[in-house]
Structure 1
Amino acid sequence: MSRPEPAFGGSLAQPISAGIVAGITGFASSFALVIAGLHAVGATDAQASSGLLALCFGVAVLCIVLARVYRMPISFAWSTPGAALLIAASATTKNFSAAAGAFIVCGVLIVLCGLWPALGRSITRIPKSIASAMLAGILFPICLAPVLAVVQIPALAIPVVLVWLILFRIAPRWAVPAAMAVAAIAIGISAGTGWLTAASTSLVPELTFVLPTFDPLVIVSLGLPLFIVTMAGQNVPGFVVMSTFGYTVPPRPVLVASGAATVVGAFFGAHALNLAAITAAIMAGPDSHPDKSKRWVATFTSGFVYIVFGLGAGVAVALISASPPILITAVAGLALLGALVGALSNAIEEVAHRIPAAATFLVTASGIAIIGIGSAFWGLLVGALIMLWSASPWPRRRT
């Protein structure tokens, strides 16, 4: 009789390496965007460092625990479109305490989606064209940043863009991490040792408690849009990616766990956690392991990678703080180009919804703030009203 293979025995080098690659890719491709987003809504360097650390630890716990319990490569990440939303929300709040309150509301709503499936279904019933147009409007100004950076700081930006362009052709998975590495080198050279001196006071980041406040205007302009883009732009695609590889992920524990982790993380400056989509494909696909029952090891491994990166949050924040803001936004824009293309494609997919989607996109991309409420909310509202008006049963005048 043959012995059962031990949990971590056998040929597990492949999923372990896939988990390491996924962890590096997930962190390096968007940590700069997270820090810039937290700064945009009023976080200090210490609070941004704490937020990044809390996000990394939250991702790690979710990946390690749920992958081990369900023996599936259920992987998690922070909300990248949510981080982009923080930058767009800078016009509506610079009070990080109020932003933390909005993060908590987002987490509670995610938990409710898990406990109350009707709420989750209602989010998926938001027309894809409108939700995608709002996401595209959030991403568009950030994706313009590489162009602006090349014009404003060519010596720093051009090498970053060139490295991204070259690797996008020959090794797409590493294009953004390599661009971020080049940006870090450029920042280090231009800033000298000043940023490292600043980092030396907080090489080991600390979790900093943020006392939340619940401002209704910030909740409407930041909390609700953050919930919508996290659900529609991250969780729903995450479930789809897993299903394409033959995994049926139980929605309740995933949503309840990620929502609860979001609530806890918000008290330390973290914005939102959700199912991974892009990095999930690395760990749930056949490249991770031919035997799908062993691919969970990849996700399990990626959790420990995030712990390592989280311990470097203080250095990461110091590096980003020493950089020209446009350069960091430019790297984030390169990372989000694919998401922008996908959002625009979904927005105009249905011919009948193109005008409402265009209105949603334009209002959201404008960055306007009316009565303290940001453009993401107004974009959704305007798009929904135009869609309802265009679909009304009233007789139309013939031309």
Structure 2
Amino acid sequence: MTISAPSAARTEFAQPVLAGLLAAIVGYASTFTLILAALTAAGASPQQAGSGLFSICIAIGILNIAVAWRVRIPVSFAWSTPGAAFLLTVGEPVGGFSAVAGAFVVCAALVILTGLIAPLARAVAAIPAPIANAMLAGMLLTLCLAPLNAVAEMPWQALPIIVVWAVSLRFARRYAVPLAVVTAGLVLASTTDLPSGTFGNAWPALTLVLPTFTLDSTIRIALPLYVVTMASQNLPGIAVMRANGYTVRPAPLFALTGAASIASAFFGGITSNMAAITAPICAGPEAHSDPDKRWPAPVAAGFTYILLGLAAGLAAAFIAAVPPLLIQAVAGLALFSSLASALAGALAIEDVRLPAILTFITTASGITVAGVGAPFWGLVGGICLLLLLRQRTAK
């Protein structure tokens, strides 16, 4: 039996489209609870949190569609999952959520400058990978403890979610977190008494958040968010593209993600960046055996993100009505693999292990010195110890 040319063409086109659909669904379902929890912890109201998720879905949707369609390579974009994990640990700053939006704008401007100023890009790229991974691991540790804390405080609600997640890892690893999210929804729907009218105004809407710029939010939020986004998302995203045989110019991509981030920040959206975790789905052989035919995958992902964004208001209303610890537990499960990868990267090089451990411990401690949060001091401490040890070795 032979397949006709039109049928074969449809099959070849369907493969990257399905890959893009999968990338968006996995990316959204795995971490949308983290985004909403982070925005809420930073002072956003349920309406502002829903607006933030909706705006970032629109931003990364447009980026995926426009860039992949224009350059005809499967470059893809996502929100900053490590950035959301960091934001969840910061809490509400002085100035409230408007100051957080201002920090998003500052971070986005720094990303744009990284694309325009070569020395700044080289400085970010020069941050040792083990130190950057250790900082990320320190930020993720507290969140990854949330499932255990949830089991201790609400076992009958938390245990079914964790069991489904663990069993899914064995039989359907890629869908483990989405299935845990579904289970959490079923558990909460059956055990939580939602206030009347909770979902009455759940249709997504963009709520304007006028940014305010403070030194506190710039130092505590914008600078660490910038470092995390560049080191844990943009640079690995470039590496994924190169590993799959694609040559990309980072500067225009950084500028585009920065511009999109500034636009979404006015509606509460966190930073956009190049995809790293889901990028191989769109850029690898899973999308198509022919590298030149993989570019429709990010286009399909972009449309899917926009459609998924329509559920942002409903998700925010639901999460606002349920125990925060349980939502953090689901987000923690989504970050287990990221924590494992970060720890492995932090400890991979023996000569850098002690500076990496210092960075990890300092970041995980949650200390604040002179109004500056632990991730910044972890990064500074690790780099200083690394330089000191290297100077001693040179002598």
In structure 1, what is the Cα distance between the partners aligned to 2:215 and 2:381?
20
1:372: Cα distance to partner? 2.3
In structure 2, what is the Cα distance between the partners aligned to 1:24 and 1:276?
14
1:393: Cα distance to partner? 4.6
Any idea what the Cα deviations from partners look like across 1:49-77, whole Å, max 9, x if unmatched? 11001100001000000010011111100
In structure 1, what is the Cα distance between the partners aligned to 2:249 and 2:122?
15
In the superposition, relative to structure 1, how do residues 225 and 392 fare at CA in structure 2: closer, same or farther (>3 Å)?
A: same
Any idea what the Cα deviations from partners look like across 1:312-347, whole Å, max 9, x if unmatched? 111010111122111111111111111111111111
In the superposition, relative to structure 1, how do residues 265 and 326 fare at CA in structure 2: closer, same or farther (>3 Å)?
A: same
> Is structure 2 residue 257 aligned with structure 1 residue 258?
yes
> Is structure 2 residue 162 aligned with structure 1 residue 161?
yes
Residue in structure 2 matched with residue 186 of structure 1 by the alignment: 187
1:394: Cα distance to partner? 9.5
> 8 Å contact 1:362–1:379 — kept in the other structure?
yes
Residue in structure 2 matched with residue 198 of structure 1 by the alignment: 198
Residue in structure 2 matched with residue 382 of structure 1 by the alignment: 381
Count of residues in Structure 1 that have an aligned counterpart in Structure 2:
390
In structure 1, what is the Cα distance between the partners aligned to 2:185 and 2:394?
60
Residue in structure 2 matched with residue 50 of structure 1 by the alignment: 51
In structure 2, what is the Cα distance between the partners aligned to 1:142 and 1:372?
22
Q: Which moved more, 1:15-24 or 1:365-374?
A: 365-374
Give the partner amino acid of 1:153: M
Residue in structure 2 matched with residue 359 of structure 1 by the alignment: 358
In the superposition, relative to structure 1, how do residues 159 and 10 fare at CA in structure 2: closer, same or farther (>3 Å)?
A: closer
> 8 Å contact 1:160–1:183 — kept in the other structure?
yes
> 8 Å contact 2:63–2:77 — kept in the other structure?
yes
> 8 Å contact 1:56–1:306 — kept in the other structure?
yes
> 8 Å contact 2:15–2:288 — kept in the other structure?
yes
Residue in structure 2 matched with residue 146 of structure 1 by the alignment: 147
> 8 Å contact 2:347–2:356 — kept in the other structure?
yes
In structure 2, what is the Cα distance between the partners aligned to 1:320 and 1:105?
28
1:375: Cα distance to partner? 1.1
Residue in structure 2 matched with residue 280 of structure 1 by the alignment: 279
1:395: Cα distance to partner? 9.7
Give the partner amino acid of 1:160: I
1:92: Cα distance to partner? 5.0
Residue aligned with 2:12, SS: coil
Unaligned runs of 5+ in 2: none
Q: Which moved more, 1:47-56 or 1:86-95?
A: 86-95
In structure 1, what is the Cα distance between the partners aligned to 2:262 and 2:344?
32
1:352: Cα distance to partner? 2.1
Residue in structure 1 matched with residue 341 of structure 2 by the alignment: 342
Give the partner amino acid of 1:240: A
Matches within 5 A, 1:219-368: 219-368=218-367
Any idea what the Cα deviations from partners look like across 1:137-173, whole Å, max 9, x if unmatched? 1000001111111111111111111111111111111
In the superposition, relative to structure 1, how do residues 73 and 394 fare at CA in structure 2: closer, same or farther (>3 Å)?
A: closer
> Is structure 2 residue 117 aligned with structure 1 residue 116?
yes
Unaligned runs of 5+ in 1: none
In structure 2, what is the Cα distance between the partners aligned to 1:11 and 1:348?
42
Residue aligned with 1:156, SS: helix
Give the partner amino acid of 1:318: A
Residue in structure 1 matched with residue 88 of structure 2 by the alignment: 87
> 8 Å contact 1:40–1:94 — kept in the other structure?
no
Q: Which moved more, 1:292-301 or 1:87-96?
A: 87-96
1:385: Cα distance to partner? 2.5
Runs of 4+ deviating beyond 6 Å:
none
In structure 2, what is the Cα distance between the partners aligned to 1:93 and 1:33?
22
State TM-score, norm by structure 2. Answer: 0.94
In structure 1, what is the Cα distance between the partners aligned to 2:364 and 2:60?
30
In structure 2, what is the Cα distance between the partners aligned to 1:298 and 1:306?
12
> 8 Å contact 1:25–1:173 — kept in the other structure?
yes
In the superposition, relative to structure 1, how do residues 50 and 130 fare at CA in structure 2: closer, same or farther (>3 Å)?
A: same
Residue aligned with 1:392, SS: helix
Residue in structure 2 matched with residue 40 of structure 1 by the alignment: 41
> 8 Å contact 1:92–1:374 — kept in the other structure?
no
> 8 Å contact 2:198–2:321 — kept in the other structure?
no
1:27: Cα distance to partner? 0.4
In structure 2, what is the Cα distance between the partners aligned to 1:49 and 1:91?
17
Q: Which moved more, 1:30-39 or 1:326-335?
A: 326-335
In the superposition, relative to structure 1, how do residues 394 and 240 fare at CA in structure 2: closer, same or farther (>3 Å)?
A: closer
> 8 Å contact 1:41–1:93 — kept in the other structure?
no
1:119: Cα distance to partner? 1.1
1:94: Cα distance to partner? 6.9
Q: CA RMSD in A?
A: 2.0
> 8 Å contact 2:12–2:288 — kept in the other structure?
no
In the superposition, relative to structure 1, how do residues 94 and 287 fare at CA in structure 2: closer, same or farther (>3 Å)?
A: same
In structure 1, what is the Cα distance between the partners aligned to 2:93 and 2:268?
18
Residue aligned with 2:78, SS: strand
Give the fraction of aligned pairs with identical amino acids, expressed as a percent: 46
In structure 2, what is the Cα distance between the partners aligned to 1:149 and 1:222?
27
State TM-score, norm by structure 1. Answer: 0.93
1:391: Cα distance to partner? 2.9
Residue in structure 2 matched with residue 24 of structure 1 by the alignment: 25
